[in-house]
Structure 1
């Protein structure tokens, strides 16, 4: 898959920009604050339906402007996909494919597989389980629309169940039947989600192991451990056993919304015991394995976006990533850096055509 053209208007700090992309490697270079990362984020937004760096839609509109608009022309297989995103203040976001507005944004996910590697990825290690579940869900959701729809429905029922639990003290007798219905729906939706996570992570793990061994040169063993309350008990039993606890807490304490993905180096938590170098290697391997998995499961070569990697990683790790361009499995790369000379020197080693875009 390739991105042929990009048009940006009032996206974050990018007032207006237009690009034509004919080469396999494109580098956005310039001083900090010029909009390099936000240009990369605009590409990600078009592919994934959301900003990589902000969960609040209004934050993607340039300060003192009333709207933002981004448009990309993607070559996918033998088709050109014209994707447009529009957002006005106090309005909902409009996502448009080839002139037709999506009824649901979830319909777009998976059309344009994309992977971002960014310094912000450290949140996967430092933040709570929700961040890692989101990583799993984006990985699977880009390849399996059925999974994505089940997940959306699960979250909807979960919110309704939690709202009911907050009212149970006043309407306990009348609410029991409704609670039982919610329990059944959570089981029906959550059980296949749990199975899909197991299946995808089982296939994902060897890809991750291979990438980590290459980057770390086999000096240690990195592992991914999928933690779920459904591991040793079926969902129905979990909900029954947690009934009293849920009423006291006034929210659902068990379910696949509590799953986690543990990151370990030689069986020790990387968050507590991993060095900075090990953490960086782990995250790069994780994202490159995500690239491999998406390519395998969608049969489409994803875009690879590398944000600020030269300033955040040592030369060895940068070289490992850039060397991947030699592999036939990789397609189009977009990179940001503050030093054009450094960027050009490293990219030239790939012997691939590239273009620098100065901001």
Structure 2
């Protein structure tokens, strides 16, 4: 799968700009603030129908404009595919594929497989469990539409159950029958989600460990562990055991929406004991493993975005990472960096074709 061209209108800092791309490696270079990351985010937007960095649609529209349009022309399985994401202030976003709008955004997820590696990924280590769950769910959803559908249904039931718990408190009442209906539905959907997450991680973790060893030459030992109360008990039992607690808190305190991943290096939490370089290598290995998994499931080379790849990594390690993608196992690659000479120096050493796209302040106007 190849992104042949990209067109932006009123997207973030760009008023109007067009790009044609190399089939292998494309490097956006320029000073901070010229929009390199915004271009990568536009490509991400075409795959997922949302920004990687700012999910609030209106904040992705250029200042003093009423709308944005992101258009990408792809070549996939010897066919041209045109995808357009557009939004107007105060209206719902629209995603079109070859001129036809999707009824729901979830139908589009997985059609254009993509993986992004960015300094913002550090949130996976530093932020709460919600960020890590979204990572797991995002990887699985790109190749399993039924999983995404189940996840949406589960989240809706959690929201409804939470509203009911608040209603009980406000009205000083209790309806065990209605609560039981929600418990049964959460048990049904939650069990499916737990089983699919567990099966995914059983496959994913060895891939991740192998990728980390390749990046670091095996100098450290890392681990990834799935933490879920459903490993020890079924969700229906957990919900029944926690009814009193849930009524007091006015929200659902147990379930797969509370699952987490633990990240460790040499047996210790990487958040506390990992250096910036180790954390960066950990996250890159995580994302390259995501690439491997999605490719295996979809039989398509995902597009790979490397945002500010030199951040907190020395040039030798960056060169090693670029070499990892210097074969037919990877497809199209997009890189952003502040130093054109440094980027070209690295990509020149590998055998793939490449294109250097220099951005300046006036590109955005």
TM over 0.5: yes
Say whether 1:44 aligns with 2:44. yes
Q: How far 1:216 sits from its partner (Å)? A: 1.3
Whether the 8 Å contact between 2:143 and 2:298 is mirrored in structure 1 is yes
CA–CA separation in structure 1 for the residues paired with 2:167 and 2:11? 42
Return closer, same or farther for 1:227/1:242 CA change in 2, 3 Å cut-off: same
CA–CA separation in structure 1 for the residues paired with 2:102 and 2:224? 36
Whether the 8 Å contact between 2:169 and 2:250 is mirrored in structure 1 is no
Cα deviation, 1:56-80, whole Å, max 9, x if unaligned, reads 1111101111100000011122222
Whether the 8 Å contact between 2:3 and 2:23 is mirrored in structure 1 is no
Say whether 1:324 aligns with 2:345. no
Please give the secondary structure, in 1, of the residue aligned with 2:31: coil
Partner of residue 309, structure 2? 309
Cα deviation, 1:268-326, whole Å, max 9, x if unaligned, reads 11011111121111011000000000000111100000001124321122112210232
Partner of residue 126, structure 1? 126
Say whether 1:186 aligns with 2:186. yes
Partner of residue 281, structure 2? 281
Partner of residue 147, structure 1? 147
Whether the 8 Å contact between 1:23 and 1:355 is mirrored in structure 2 is no
Cα deviation, 1:10-48, whole Å, max 9, x if unaligned, reads 111111111111331001111111111000100000011
Partner of residue 97, structure 1? 97
CA–CA separation in structure 2 for the residues paired with 1:308 and 1:241? 47
Please give the secondary structure, in 2, of the residue aligned with 1:225: strand
Partner of residue 30, structure 1? 30
Q: How far 1:175 sits from its partner (Å)? A: 2.8
Say whether 1:162 aligns with 2:162. yes
CA–CA separation in structure 2 for the residues paired with 1:201 and 1:78? 33
Partner of residue 351, structure 1? 351
Gaps of 5+ in 1: none
Please give the secondary structure, in 2, of the residue aligned with 1:131: helix
Whether the 8 Å contact between 2:4 and 2:23 is mirrored in structure 1 is no
CA–CA separation in structure 1 for the residues paired with 2:263 and 2:83? 36
Q: How far 1:334 sits from its partner (Å)? A: 0.4
Q: How far 1:178 sits from its partner (Å)? A: 1.4
Q: How does 1:170-319 map to 2 (within 5 A)?
A: 170-171=170-171, 175-319=175-319
Whether the 8 Å contact between 1:85 and 1:96 is mirrored in structure 2 is yes
Return closer, same or farther for 1:45/1:32 CA change in 2, 3 Å cut-off: same
Please give the TM-score of this superposition, normalised by the length of structure 1.
0.98
Please give the secondary structure, in 1, of the residue aligned with 2:193: helix
Partner of residue 18, structure 2? 18
Cα deviation, 1:237-276, whole Å, max 9, x if unaligned, reads 0001001000000000000000001100122110111111
Partner of residue 138, structure 1? 138
Whether the 8 Å contact between 1:14 and 1:39 is mirrored in structure 2 is no
CA–CA separation in structure 1 for the residues paired with 2:138 and 2:209? 20
Q: How far 1:176 sits from its partner (Å)? A: 2.1
Q: How many residues in Structure 1 have an aligned counterpart in Structure 2?
A: 359
Q: How far 1:173 sits from its partner (Å)? A: 5.2
CA–CA separation in structure 2 for the residues paired with 1:321 and 1:314? 11
Whether the 8 Å contact between 1:71 and 1:83 is mirrored in structure 2 is yes
Whether the 8 Å contact between 1:150 and 1:189 is mirrored in structure 2 is yes
Please give the secondary structure, in 1, of the residue aligned with 2:26: strand
CA–CA separation in structure 1 for the residues paired with 2:315 and 2:31? 20
Please give the secondary structure, in 1, of the residue aligned with 2:271: helix
Gaps of 5+ in 2: 360-365
CA–CA separation in structure 2 for the residues paired with 1:224 and 1:309? 23
Please give the TM-score of this superposition, normalised by the length of structure 2.
0.96
Q: How far 1:171 sits from its partner (Å)? A: 4.7
- Please provide the CA RMSD for this pair: 1.1
Whether the 8 Å contact between 1:325 and 1:350 is mirrored in structure 2 is no
Whether the 8 Å contact between 2:276 and 2:312 is mirrored in structure 1 is no
Please give the secondary structure, in 2, of the residue aligned with 1:326: coil
Partner of residue 65, structure 2? 65
